[in-house]
Chain A
């Protein structure tokens, strides 16, 4: 089996230092909505300068290089044990090269491992066997500021007047955006899972964030709710960094899951503007990056 350590190191470098084009485009568009001279506009201008500079210098866009979340989809015959080792080796090397901050802290003994490796679940790696002959590795870096403002609601919620339907989902999500204020580094992207259990809800609310900005859910009901939530979240006026302004959320992604008859969870994962996700594709001898 091919050793992909070097290629994965390059994936990590790109993810940490090079913001995807679809995210950058939305941030540029958001500038026009803010008043010249306002703190909100100043924040967006600084953000975009930072994006360019990080790309030039191969330095982290944000010092919180987050939880590394890998999704590996491999054809038959690849060893997931070896791939896991390669990912871990690449991540430790990326940390030594300052592409990543040492971010794995043992919660019981309060000790930072220094190399971003912390037990079986840090980094988080999801493996899935797929048909065809392409191996893809997707990486998302999700910082702690936005992770901390994620929220899960169990419907019905009397305080919000939210019942067990899409109207209730809407209320829960808007409440989560309001509670987050600027703490999640607005303007953010919302990943929403409807249903599932408490565990799968959070997992899927993150997974749905891998979808490109502006891509709508194929289910027209969910597509409509995605659009509506982005618009209504922006009416809250929280704005970039919570300074007040027109852009609080740049997109919303929703996924629907099965639930138990007794449970109706709405789970919101908030992604900061520094939405770092990249993909590499291995096809035969070729390695391509998005």
Chain B
């Protein structure tokens, strides 16, 4: 099992290949639909002026994401009343919804890894090569198991997005993933889709 520590260097990213199981350790953030949309509109395309604590959150995220990892996850969190946050269940959510945003976000922040499920498309794969970064696949639905690798919840931003959509900052240890899109243009998802497409064509011809 390959051990990778966050922040991750370009050299390590380029050495990771599709199919490789990895244990990730270090500090990462969760971000899904609302957070990606917010980052793109407010700081990358700038179609929306920063409001409220937007700029402070942005400044806090920049060092975390430089060499960092974004986890597509909307966790179940206990201790909401007391702010003694703990991740109870924290598996990945479907990544493809972030396809329009992901490559731009990674490039903007120089982030090195995305964790999610289901894989992503051509634009993200292109970004993987350019930035570079890789896509780590976590096991969908394995929420309690993955939550055990979350050692500490360091904080939360944009709580007003709601618990699933907020940006949680977490320290993880031995977070289990598999590389399914690498920085060399390889995507396991592309291969499986193509191969299963051939079988489908045969079945439909019957």
Contact = CB atoms under 8 A, between A and B. Distances in A.
A237 B204 contact: no
Counting chain A residues whose Cβ lies within 8 A of the other chain, the interface size class is 35 or more
Contacts of A235: 199, 203
B144 to A, nearest CB: 4
B165 interface: yes
B180 interface: yes
Interface string B177-206: 010100000001101110111011001100
A176 B140 CA distance: 19
Interface stretch (B4-12, B48-56, B83-91, B107-115): B83-91
Identify the interface centre among A50, A61, A111: most chain B CB within 10 Å of its CB.
A50
B76 A185 contact: no
A63 B89 contact: yes
Contact of B163 (A112, A148, A232, A243): A112
Given A54-B89, A63-B88, A274-B141, 9 more contacts: A46-B142, A53-B148, A63-B75, A237-B192, A237-B196, A238-B192, A241-B137, A242-B119, A243-B137
Contacts, number: 170
Given A145-B93, A244-B188, A57 B178 contact: no
Contacts of A101: 74-76, 89, 163-164
A178 to B, nearest CB: 5
A138 B137 CA distance: 33
B143 interface: yes
Contacts of A182: 117-119, 140, 189, 192
Contact of B139 (A50, A143, A174): A50
A73 B203 CA distance: 41
A216 interface: no
Contacts of B91: 62-64
B74 A64 contact: yes
Interface in A103-132: 103, 105, 110-112, 114
